[in-house]
Structure 1
Amino acid sequence: MAETQAHTTVPGGPAPGGEAEPSALGIQAGGWVALAMLVVFAIALVAKVPSIIAGMLDRKIAGIREQLDTAAKLRKEAEALKADYEAKARDAHREVEEMRAGAARQAEEIVAKAKADATALIARHGAMAEEKIAAAERAMLAEIRATAADAATNAARALIAEKHDAGADQALVDKAIAGLGRLN
């Protein structure tokens, strides 16, 4: 087994390894470090370093607050722009729908007018055709009447030439003269 040795240290005496710890004015190294820290803190307090650090932190906080305020303003502006553009988009969509409905109405009116015009044109052409047919019928009837009158005249001439001689003509002439004498 290993032997254990007990070591005790005496202030100002040798350290457990046989060497003595350095000291100055009766204060060892750890004490000097603590004392140096106290001096640094004292100098920092006298030089108002905490207030300088607090001022720097306050300026930094104010800058961050300013950035946050600017960001909030920018966000509000962006939201307002977004709302404006959404409203414009809705208005544009509504206008497009109104234009589409107007175009549909206009197309329906054009189709209805075209149908009405076509119906009127067909009616006019029908009336013109009926008028032409009626004119052709009248012309045909006139031609038939003229042909019938010519045929009747020719037949009457032939009959008169057959039935009447010069004596019958003389009697007709005398009768016509006598009728003229009575008129006077």
Structure 2
Amino acid sequence: MDATFWALVALIIFLAILAYLKVPAMVNEALDKRAERIKNELDEARRLREEAQQVLAEYQRKRKEAEQEAKDLVAAAKREAKIIVSEAKAKTEDYVTRRTALAEQKIAQAEQDAVNEVRARAVDVAVAAAGEILASKVDGQVSKALFDDSLKAVKAKLN
């Protein structure tokens, strides 16, 4: 019996002890548990990936909605700005038209007032001149009465 034989016997005894102590079953069980844990981790990773994809899709949908809403708001703001500008332009033109008409009325009134004042002064000068002429030609009492009557007549025509 040589050493190789004893090494073979020792190996067989060692394997028998391992089989008796159910070491292969324990190794198999440990490997099965590890495989199950890996499978669970893969399933969890798959579930998390799907959940992340759903969240990403939701985020992209919300982003598109927000972009569209922003575009709509900008378009509405532009429309409103155009309306405000056109209203302001119309109001400004109306204001300028009213102010021009008011200025023209004031100018016409000033012209009329100037003409009336010139007429009134011409009448006053004519009355004074007539009074002086009459005073020199007619005696004092008659001229005063005539002058007062003429003055009343002229004032009545002006009013």
Question: Does residue 78 in structure 1 map to residue 52 in structure 2?
Answer: yes
Tell me the distance in 2 between the aligned counterparts of 1:35 and 1:92. 79
- Cross-structure match for 1:44: 18
1:78 partner amino acid: A
Instruction: Give 1:44-63 correspondences, 5 Å limit.
Output: 44-63=18-37
Report the 3-state secondary structure (helix = DSSP H, G, I; strand = E; otherwise coil) of the residue aligned with 2:96: helix
Give the gaps of 5 or more residues in structure 2: 143-159
Q: Percent identity?
A: 35
Instruction: Give 1:145-184 correspondences, 5 Å limit.
Output: 145-154=119-128, 161=134
- Per-residue Cα deviation, 1:157-180 (whole angstroms, up to 9, x for no partner): 577x39x868xx9xxxxxxxxxxx
Find the structure with the greater CA-based Rg: 1
Question: Does residue 97 in structure 1 map to residue 71 in structure 2?
Answer: yes
RMSD value over aligned CA atoms? 2.4
> Which structure is higher in RCO with an 8 Å CA cutoff and minimum separation 6?
2
Give the gaps of 5 or more residues in structure 1: 1-26, 170-184
1:76 partner amino acid: E
Report the 3-state secondary structure (helix = DSSP H, G, I; strand = E; otherwise coil) of the residue aligned with 1:79: helix
Q: How far off is 1:144 after superposition?
A: 2.7
Aligned length: 139
- Cross-structure match for 2:99: 125
Q: How far off is 1:74 after superposition?
A: 1.2
Q: Which of the two has greater helix per residue?
A: 2
Q: How far off is 1:156 after superposition?
A: 5.5
- Cross-structure match for 2:118: 144
Q: How far off is 1:39 after superposition?
A: 1.8
